[in-house]
Amino acid sequence: MNIVTCIAPVNIAVIKYWGKRDENLILPLNDSVSATLSIKQMNAKTSVMASPNFTEDKIWLNGREETFHSQRLQNCLQEIRRRAKQRADGKDDGVSDWCVHVCSENNFPTAAGLASSAAGYACLVFALAQLYNVSGDISGIARQGSGSACRSLYGGFVRWHRGSASDGSDSIATQIVPHSHWPELRILVLVVSDKRKKVSSSSGMQNSVKTSELLKHRVSHCVPQRTEAVIKAIINKDFETFADITMKDSNQFHAVCLDTFPPNVYMNDTSHAIVNLIHEYNIASGKNKDLIASIRMEPHEPGLLKYLIHTEVGVGPQVLDEPHHHLLTDAGLPKVLV
């Protein structure tokens, strides 16, 4: 059967990726570090199907057909087909020459700053790799769909190495520790808006590279030391240092966005109220207080917090074997549309 269905997780960066040195290959200016979130609560689910009967590559995203002409989609598909053709066993069964139909859905808001592109491209590339029997590192392929997607191919804590090769061959993700390393850690995702961001990450960071002096300082003077220090804190399960670096790096990322001209404002009053609440909680050494209850009480105006996802660090992408999981019919059409 030439159909595969997979799910892939989102990831949240504790050292942020912001700025590219190559727009087409998606090569970053700095290393980044993230935690992969449990696949149970938030995931992208993707079915890919290849058939000699298909006449063109097609993709449906959240129930709507989208154009397959996007350069990023094309780059991922081309690269994985190239890898399929040069498989170690030298046998190409011809499947990589057939057109593909892709159907994907996210079980959380798309393009709202919740890393939908990360889960989405990780899932697509992981599923295509199963379909074409491609083995070895595929994070460098997912990276060409969306930079942060390379980190969603691994569970636990993950580092995306900026690399130095001009062809991007060393700009890949590696696992720092598996999800089982720090099981006590809990992650709360507080969604203050589920609308599409006004400025996408891609164009936001492009403007920052062009106009922000602070970005240059961050890349050369802050991120290298922070990356080493946060990895050490993760390995030692040193929560205080981990939390300190994570908050400082997030603040600096938002400061770079404000230093960009014209500025990108991604946080609103509710986001700032939450940041203040966390600091007050820490100062009050609220280890015995119920943080979730405090968050639900604050900010005081009801309805400002859209929803709260209580999750933890999780595993990387998974294959779903059962036929009822497939999002495409045997004829290659989205089940939701037939």
Ligand X SMILES: Nc1ncnc2c1ncn2[C@@H]1O[C@H](COP(=O)(O)OP(=O)(O)OP(=O)(O)O)[C@@H](O)[C@H]1O
| Site residues for ligand X per CB under 6 A | 44, 61, 104, 106, 110-118, 120-121, 124, 148, 200-201
Within positions 227 to 256, which residues make up the interface with ligand DP6, using CB under 6 A?
none
Distance CA 181, CA 200 (A): 33
47 is in the binding site of which of ligand X, ligand DP6, none (Cβ under 5 to 8 A by kind)? none
What are 175's strand-pairing partners? 158
Residue 61 C-beta: closest distance to ligand DP6, Å? 15
Residue 18 C-beta: closest distance to ligand DP6, Å? 6
Within positions 151 to 190, which residues make up the interface with ligand DP6, using CB under 6 A?
none
Q: Which is nearer to ligand X, 134 or 205 (CB)?
A: 205
Position 146 contacts ligand DP6 (CB under 6 A) = yes
3-state secondary structure of 32: strand
Q: Which is nearer to ligand DP6, 49 or 274 (CB)?
A: 274
For β-strands 99-106 and 157-160, DSSP reports them as unpaired
Position 202 contacts ligand DP6 (CB under 6 A) = yes
Q: Which is nearer to ligand X, 9 or 140 (CB)?
A: 9
Residue 229 C-beta: closest distance to ligand X, Å? 24
Residue 205 C-beta: closest distance to ligand DP6, Å? 6
Q: How many residues does the chain have?
A: 338
Q: What token pair was written down for 85?
A: 């053709």
Residue 236 C-beta: closest distance to ligand X, Å? 28
Buried b vs exposed e over 269-289: b needs ≥16 C-beta within 10 Å? ebbebbeebbeebeeeeeeee
19 is in the binding site of which of ligand DP6, ligand X, none (Cβ under 5 to 8 A by kind)? none
Total residues at interface with ligand DP6 (CB under 6 A): 12
**Contact with ligand DP6 (CB under 6 A) among 148, 227, 264, 270:** 148
147 is in the binding site of which of ligand DP6, ligand X, none (Cβ under 5 to 8 A by kind)? ligand DP6
Pick the stretch among 52-60, 140-148, 162-170, 318-326 that binds ligand DP6 (CB under 6 A).
Answer: 140-148
Type of residue found at 107? N
Residue 270 C-beta: closest distance to ligand DP6, Å? 18
Please name which of 31, 35, 29 lies closest in space to residue 179, comparing C-alpha atoms.
35
Pick the stretch among 129-137, 142-150, 278-286, 298-306 that binds ligand DP6 (CB under 6 A).
Answer: 142-150
Distance CA 182, CA 159 (A): 16
Distance CA 26, CA 205 (A): 12
Residue 73 C-beta: closest distance to ligand X, Å? 8
H helical segments located in the chain: 71-85, 116-131, 139-142, 201-211, 213-217, 223-235, 239-259, 269-283, 291-297
Q: Which is nearer to ligand DP6, 91 or 198 (CB)?
A: 198
Instruction: Quickly list DSSP for 191-226.
Output: ES--SPPSS-HHHHHHHHHHH-HHHHHIIIIIHHHH
Distance CA 160, CA 149 (A): 10
Position 212 contacts ligand DP6 (CB under 6 A) = no
Distance CA 22, CA 115 (A): 21
**Contact with ligand DP6 (CB under 6 A) among 6, 26, 77, 231:** 26
Residue 6 C-beta: closest distance to ligand DP6, Å? 19
Distance CA 214, CA 257 (A): 9
Binding site for ligand DP6 (CB under 6 A): 13, 16-18, 26, 32, 117, 146-148, 201-202
